[in-house]
Structure 1
């Protein structure tokens, strides 16, 4: 119960308050043993919106936003294509090294790197993150308070010791995250201002597979990403019997999120329940009462899954990232 409460307060309460924070994130993913999947993929995101993409099949860095394609010169794509091509063999090597350290041979394996920075354009506050995962779990991460790497698993200790001994490289990394990364983030925000600062209101619906199943409140089609979805009982917020999902991308530049409520039929008859959605695009909160007339079922082929991202490679890259994040948050 308290884990759910803490998750709601941290993930949604804080994000909702700090809705003006912009972020730049890069996700690099190398894999082995997965048929028909590029062995190496990268995606760059600004405020959760994919702006660049590369994989080992197309071997070319390409824009994912029209405004991004118009804002930068052609040499930008040439430079970043070369960076991705140079990084690709490093990830192949990293997988083999990790397999040796974990005493593995064949099978499906992934190495992923996530790094980036964020910037509050009102207060000027900045932050950064730089971490690696292996097979969906944390492998090594940089602690920016001490500028040292931290290894949560013993197999990463040799890497930690090697990287921590290179103080010159650590200074270069610090400079990038405090200056270069923030500088690029500000540029990208200015390039895509009309898109990144737009607001699209969510569509909210209640879904239930059968009368004995949990009731799902689904908000979809909204932008920006920050949103708060809560359940209320007789007008009071609920922090138990509630399971909040992650905010996931749709294929059209908008987002979606679900929140499940487990409630007994007799409790529904005796109390008033409602799903309440707060979002920047709304003048007033959306509140949907838990009544039979407001509940949709999966009869008639109603789609329950998330919207498919246009690029299969990008979709799988997001799936790997979400698996890693899910493992990190327990």
Structure 2
């Protein structure tokens, strides 16, 4: 007889004290109706800042940032983002030439930020560029040198690595400025950022022979693990773990899908194990639509916010790469005093 069990464990995860500040810039060419340029700021994986080239206005995405900064903050960041958009439009042509490509759909992306553990004081940071979904450049912060996995990035790597003053600016930003602003943002939003909301969990199946999805949603903070067990043993075969997605209300959702044959499903006991901070979810609160042997279906839990989350994910980007023109080369975004990177790399 088929048996499906879902367990939610209330545990204190190791990364409970870790906070992060991340910035994403995404430029797109050749796509009608989609913003050519977007800027997104995230604290603890929750969006607090947004700009796109259609609206041409930087806007707050949380109440805590709205209440703690003035109009000059948004005006300053609007002008910076508008300038970044115009610079991107020039540099996308340079990138296409460098990769010997014709007109069409292309993406430039940049992702950078820092992390801070408020319990241990540990710090980390990252800066990555990408082109058309592939790695292009990254800064090795331990060695303080640029690296590139592609030939087209070598000339930029050589020039930027020779600019020691710019590398020192990067070191200062990631070791000091970024952390200071992260700490400031965490203080601004502590009532929201320190909240703990347990996930709502459901098991979903389209038919008795299809895969089963374990869906966790509405949880905060974002750290969650979803795993499967078979007859009491860890099971990771034929399992697809979904990406973490944001919900419109600032919470998160994630899925894990397991593929097994109807016969194996019927003769074994499978368990979905969801781990998150907070209280345990009792089995009577679990929503399920698993198909029975008679072909009936138990009620399905509505998946609220999935469409919104997917749209937001597109706006945020994956790993970003924005190219700015300095004469005939590249440089990253001009910064501000809001925690974004203020370094200007030399001509590529």
- Using the size of structure 1 for normalisation, the TM-score is 0.85
Secondary structure (helix, strand or coil) at the match of 1:44 reads strand
Q: How far did residue 142 of structure 1 move?
A: 0.5
Report the CA distance between 1:301 and its aligned residue.
12
Going by fraction, where is helix more abundant, 1 or 2?
1
Residue 94 (structure 1) shift: 2.6
Aligned counterpart for 1:244 among listed residues 237, 241, 248 = 241
Moved more, 267-276 or 143-152: 267-276
Higher relative contact order (CA 8 A, sep 6+): 2
With over 3 angstroms needed to count, the CA separation of the structure-2 counterparts of 1:322 and 1:304, relative to structure 1, is farther
| CA distance, structure 1, for counterparts of residue 318 and residue 121 of structure 2 | 28
The match for 2:209 among 206, 209, 212 is 212
Which digits, 9 at most, give the CA deviation of each residue in 1:159-212, with x for residues without a partner? 111211111011001101110000000000010111111111111111112222
| 2:308 counterpart residue number | 308
- From the superposition, tell whether residues 155 and 243 of structure 1 become closer, same or farther in structure 2 (CA, over 3 Å): same
Check the 8 A contact 1:198/1:224 in 2, yes or no: yes
Q: Deviations over 1:126-154 (max 9, x none)?
A: 10011111111111110111111110111
CA distance in 2, matches of 1:201, 1:119: 23
**Cα distance in 2, alignment partners of residues 137 and 200 from structure 1:** 35
Q: Does 1:157 align with 2:154?
A: yes
Do the aligned partners of 1:209 and 1:297 also contact (CA within 8 Å) in 2? no
8 A Cα contact 1:22 1:46, kept in partner: yes
Report the CA distance shift for 1:304/1:249 in structure 2 as closer, same or farther (over 3 A): closer
1:16 and 1:158 mapped to 2: Cα distance? 43
Distance in 2 (alpha carbons) for counterparts of 1:296 and 1:188: 50
- Residue number in structure 2 paired with 1:317: 315
Structure 2 unaligned blocks of 5 or more = 1-11, 322-348
> CA separation of 1:88/1:79 partners in 2, compared to 1, >3 Å: closer, same or farther?
same
What residue number does 1:169 align with? Answer: 166
Q: Distance in 2 between matches of 1:178 and 1:202?
A: 34
Which residue, 187, 193, 196 being the options, matches 1:196? 193
1:3-14 maps to which residues of 2 (within 5 A)? none
Asked if 1 retains the 8 angstrom alpha-carbon contact of 2:21 and 2:182, the reply is yes
Q: Distance in 2 between matches of 1:172 and 1:32?
A: 31
Contact 2:242 2:255 in 1 (8 A): yes
Shift of 1:297: 6.8
- Which deviates more from structure 2 when the two are superposed, residues 67-76 or residues 294-303? 294-303
Cα RMSD between the aligned structures? Answer: 2.9
TM-score, normalization by structure 2: 0.81
Residue in structure 1 matching 2:20, options 18, 23, 44: 23
Aligned counterpart for 2:231 among listed residues 220, 227, 234: 234
Larger radius of gyration: 2
Select which of 270, 277, 282 maps to 2:279: 282
In 2 relative to 1, CA 154–299 (structure 1 residues): closer, same or farther, beyond 3 Å? farther
Moved more, 173-182 or 93-102: 93-102
Q: 2:88 maps to what in 1?
A: 91
CA contact (8 A) 1:94 1:111 kept: no
Whole-Å separation in 2 of the counterparts to 1:195 and 1:217:
27
* 1:221 aligns to 2:218 (yes or no): yes
Unaligned runs of 5+ in 1: 1-14, 325-330
Other structure's SS at 2:154 match: helix
Q: Do the aligned partners of 1:298 and 1:304 also contact (CA within 8 Å) in 2?
A: no
Q: In 2 relative to 1, CA 302–199 (structure 1 residues): closer, same or farther, beyond 3 Å? A: closer
Q: Distance in 1 between matches of 2:302 and 2:220?
A: 24
Contact 2:27 2:109 in 1 (8 A): yes
Equivalent residues of 2:38, 2:50 under 8 A apart: yes
1:177-196 residue pairs with structure 2 within 5 A? 177-196=174-193
265-274 or 46-55, larger mean C-alpha shift: 265-274
Residues matched between the structures, number: 307
